Amino acid sequence: MDVVDSLWDWVLVLLFWFLFFAYLLILWQILTDLFRDRELSGWWKAVWVLFLVAFPFLTALVYLVARGRGMSERQVAAVHQVRADTDAYIRHVATASPAEQIAGAKALLDAGTITPDEFATLKAKALA
């Protein structure tokens, strides 16, 4: 009987920690959404944060019901913006001009890192 009690105690502890971390995740999402929203004034943000501190569970529930749709729209917009920025950066880095590629290969040749044959190969590849 002792093992069963300790097993259920362990399950309850795990359930408690799971719910606690789920609550922290929701709280983090609410706070990031509050500060991501540019249409909401600073005073309203302060009011939401004050209520999140004073009445955390009730305020989180009210926030998710009242602003849930806008929250998801802002999250999707942020994801699209990050993806667009990443794609633009990758295109910028990946599409070095042939002159830049040849200049980089020439610098490697001058430093003695590559041989003249390797420089010729890199130059032909850049011009292709």
Range of the domain at 55: 2-69
Total domains present in the chain: 1
| Residue 29 located in a structural domain | yes
Tell me the average pLDDT of the chain: 89
Give mean pLDDT, residues 78-90: 92
pTM: 0.61
**Chain position carrying tokens 């200049």:** 103
Establish if 80 belongs to a structural domain: no
In a domain, 34, yes or no: yes
Rounded CA-CA distance 70/75 in Å is 8
pLDDT tens sequence across 30-83: 999 999 888 989 999 999 999 999 999 999 999 999 998 889 899 999 999 999
Residue 9: alpha-carbon gap to chain centroid: 36
For residue 108, tell me if it sits in a domain: no
Q: Which residue has the tokens 């943000």?
A: 45
Please write down the HEC assignment for all residues of 52-99. HHHCHHHHHHHHHHHHHHHHHHHHHHHHHHHHHHHHHHHHHHHCCCHH
Averaged pLDDT for residues 17-26? 95
Q: Is 50 among the domain residues?
A: yes
Is the residue at 83 inside a domain?
no
Nearest to 102 by CA among 67, 66, 128, 77: 128
